Chains A and B, each alone.
Chain A
Amino acid sequence: MHIDPLERTWVVVVGLLTAMMLGVIFYTAWSGDIHPPSNVEVIDSTRLHLTEEFAEDNLGARTQPDGSVRVAMVATRYGFYPQHIEVPVDTPITFRFATPDSLHGLHIPGTNVDTMVIPGFVSEVNTVLQNTGTFPMYCNEYCGLGHHDMWSRVTITPKQG
């Protein structure tokens, strides 16, 4: 088999380039615990209202004893409930979402809060928000003809005390 020396050099360069990029990804995943949101946790979508976590009265942001914040939200055609939440800046936050109907996605632009919400599963995003202000949280996966109307507001407040 004939391989030109120049081509051989290029293959080595390409190999090193790819190894470098993969190296960065694997290293940050391992050392900084940087992963996309994954949460293999099943839930019965038809009975969300009967669960404790996603019952209407229990939705929204709650501060935990360790100072972190836990947010439970329901994504449903066409809105995220509660429609407006307030969370503190620079604080570990765990967002948890479930849907009783169709497939949804959500994104808060400018942040890494981005996950799909799939019937039958609980989505979870762990993050620390870094900028104060009011941001949209919109649905970013087509869920029906009112898809574009599906959004709510997230206000990130300055840290108290």
Chain B
Amino acid sequence: MTEREKPNGLALSHMWVAMITFLVAAFLGLYQVLERAEYIPAWAEGYYTSVTAHGVIMAYVLTTFFIVGFGYYCASSSLKRPIWSPGLAWGGFLMMLVGVLLVVYAIVTGQGTVLYTFYPPLTAHWTFYVGAALLVVGSIAWIIIMIVMPIRWKRENPGQPLPLIMFTTTANALLWGWTLVGVALEVVFQLIPLSVGWIDSVDVGLAKTLFAWTLHPIVYFWLIPAYQAFYMLVPRVAGGRLFSDEMARVAFIMLLVFSLPIGMHHLYVDPFQAAGWKLFHAFGTFMVAVPTLITGFTVLAGLELAGRLRGGKGLFGWIRTLPWDEPMLVATALALLMLTAGGFGGMINASYGMNTMVHNTMWVPAHFHLIFAGTTIIMYFAIAYHLWPKMTGRELFSKSLAVKQLWVWFIGMLILTIPWHYVGLLGMPRRTALMPYDPVYVDPWKSTLFAMAIGGVVLAVSAVMLIYNLVMTQVNRAREADRELKFAEPIHPVLSLPAPLNGFTLWNSIILIYMIAGWGYPIAQFFVMNTQNALPWGW
């Protein structure tokens, strides 16, 4: 395949949107910690608007654009063919971009200060919801392409195992397809009609339930590229092998199936769902720990193998011989540390009863900044450093700057989240611009605000280092010699696979049944109970 046939421009366009918006959102985050730490004048409207923009960009814009771009590049590289229907792909990109511009318009003009959770009866300007809908609809083009490409490949290569990277990318596309249905129903049937004025009231319980459908599996949609890098890019960079191709498939399938009907753990303390359903979803929530722990084993085993092949001896000697000047390896080690700590916190949030002690305290942003802004995003950085030279044909501007940037991000994230966990346990609420409560409670919280501000500054510095390096790579004169994206080979080559490990027909059927079991009645109840709608409210 020639460079012209590769989706270089397509993937790069998606990823630049992700990176530029990320830089903006990182500075919004800095503004928020400074405001909360009382180093700059308190301004509630500014703070809540900033939280809205920070959340929308980091959670929806950065992730969706990055994942879509990465998916196109992996599909084309692994199947060794151009993207199927580039017109559809570019159409999806433009639709997503228009969606982002509409959302930005609503937020910047002060007509969308509703945070990034789609919870009526707070109702933003219609451009906020139409923009969000376009972002989602545009990404459906990617889902279609990620399903069509492997089907066509399998038709031409009957009986052959689908390359693991394509298998897992399609798993993520399917996960996203199942995930987005909840929020799509909410936006199309409730929020857009409400914001335009076609309906004058809304069932808040139904809206929150539909949003919860999306709310948790979306997190695994964001996380999967990080896992793909763990399995298929890291062992390659480290000079080792993938420990097991088959177990990797099993882990991704478990992630796909178990992560879907678990969103009700976001409704643990909501009144309108009965406790039994919450327990049902608690079950799935814990089951997701299984593929995560399997991944931890496989990644560490792959790294140990690499270390020993490089001459490492003894119980821990192999760690020293790993190539610690490689951004991908450094990011993985730091990501695993943050995943372990963040995963531990997540088990506490997931604990059906214990969660009430920490719900909506600073403990929660501490948890998801470790898992998402830590684990997931640091792997996005590493993927960016890995792909930019391949996409642009220019050498990475500075590998050592990249490694430093990853360390700075890690340190900043620890400075930010360790105090947040602590004040969360002391009861400090999240999402508040000011803390006017009695000093006897607020004073212990305030002892950590200094660290929070430092953490924000460190993270903003890291974000600038990243973007500087990528821009300088883009304009670098030195040509990149190796433009082929290669993936780790398993220790035992896979010659044939049972159908369930090479396709998703069975798993889609199981998901359908599991989703109906997990969400059927909890959604249907709003149509059989005599629920009362609420009127829309501004802010």
Contact = CB atoms under 8 A, between A and B. Distances in A.
Partners in one complex: yes
Nearest to A10: B297
Contacts of A37: 269, 271, 356
Interface stretch (A13-21, A52-60, A62-70, A85-93): A13-21
Contacts of B122: 102-103, 142-144
B506 interface: no
A73 interface: no
Interface string B189-212: 000000000000001110010000
Interface in B492-539: 492, 497-498, 501, 525, 529-535, 537-539
A40 B113 contact: no
Given A25-B353, A38-B271, A118-B208, A1 B529 contact: no
B297 A112 contact: no
Q: How large is the interface on B (under 10, 10 to 19, 20 to 34, 35 or more residues)?
A: 35 or more
B104 to A, nearest CB: 20
Given A10-B294, A109-B441, A140-B430, A116 B269 contact: yes
Contacts of A44: 532
B41 to A, nearest CB: 15
Contacts of B294: 7, 10-11, 14
Contacts of A4: 243-244
Contact of B535 (A39, A46, A110): A46
A148 interface: yes
Interface string A138-149: 111111111111
Interface string A17-29: 1100110011011
Contact of B119 (A15, A25, A103, A134): A103
Interface in B146-186: none
A36 B48 CA distance: 28
B429 A36 contact: no
Nearest to B119: A103
A103 B501 contact: no
Q: Which of A22, A38, A115, A123 has the most CB of B within 10 A?
A: A38
A18 B271 contact: no
B290 A140 contact: no
Nearest to B358: A114
B271 A118 contact: yes
Chief secondary structure at chain B's binding surface: loop
Nearest to A24: B351
A36 B287 contact: no
A70 B263 CA distance: 32
A116 B361 CA distance: 13
Given A3-B247, A114-B359, A149 B121 contact: no
B355 interface: yes
A18 B287 contact: yes
A158 interface: no
Contact of B286 (A21, A38, A101, A115): A21
Contacts of B538: 144
Nearest to B297: A10
A140 B356 contact: no
Contacts, number: 216
A40 B273 contact: yes
Interface string B284-308: 0011011001100110010000000
Given A18-B286, A118-B208, A120-B205, A142 B431 contact: yes
Q: Which of A1, A4, A17, A144 has the most CB of B within 10 A?
A: A1
B239 interface: no
B355 to A, nearest CB: 6
B533 A120 contact: yes
Nearest to A21: B286
Nearest to B501: A1
B438 A134 contact: yes
Interface in A71-129: 77, 101-103, 105, 107, 109-110, 112, 114-124
B272 interface: yes
A119 B115 contact: no
A120 B205 CA distance: 8
B184 to A, nearest CB: 21
Contacts of B532: 42-46, 119-120
B44 A148 contact: yes
Interface of A: 1-4, 6-7, 10-11, 14-15, 17-18, 21-22, 25-26, 28-29, 34-46, 77, 101-103, 105, 107, 109-110, 112, 114-124, 134-136, 138-149, 151, 153
13 contacts: A1-B498, A2-B244, A7-B297, A38-B271, A38-B273, A40-B274, A42-B531, A114-B359, A116-B267, A121-B272, A124-B271, A140-B359, A140-B429
The 10 A-B pairs of least Cβ separation, nearest first, read A109-B427, A119-B534, A140-B360, A35-B275, A148-B432, A36-B268, A123-B271, A38-B275, A144-B539, A14-B293
Interface of B: 44-45, 48, 51, 113-115, 117, 119-122, 203-205, 208, 243-244, 246-247, 267-275, 278-279, 282-283, 286-287, 289-290, 293-294, 297-298, 301, 347, 351-353, 355-357, 359-361, 426-438, 441, 492, 497-498, 501, 525, 529-535, 537-539
